[in-house]
Amino acid sequence: MFGLTEQQISEIGLTWGLGLMIAFMLFIIWDLAKKSNAGKFGTFVLFFVLAFGMLGFIAKSVIQWLMGI
């Protein structure tokens, strides 16, 4: 499709699709903190705890980029 291989389409979808999903989840966390009047510390805790799992995906991408894989 569009001159791309299946591997290239999968890589683009994983990188951009999951990146957009992460951005959307961060928006949801921010909205949750705002609607619940969590305050500064509560907002920090929400972002730290709920966004901690996303850090692994981001770290994996950065490590692969640094290693040239």
Can you tell me whether residue 5 is helix, strand or coil?
A: coil
What is the biggest distance separating any 2 CA atoms in the chain, rounded to whole angstroms? 50
What average pLDDT does this structure show over 56-65?
A: 84
pTM: 0.67
How many other C-beta atoms can be found within 10 angstroms of the C-beta atom of residue 33? 19
- Residue 1 pLDDT level (bands cut at 50, 70, 90): low
Q: How far apart are CA 6 and CA 61, in angstroms?
A: 19
What residues have CB less than 8 Å from 45, skipping those under 6 apart? 38
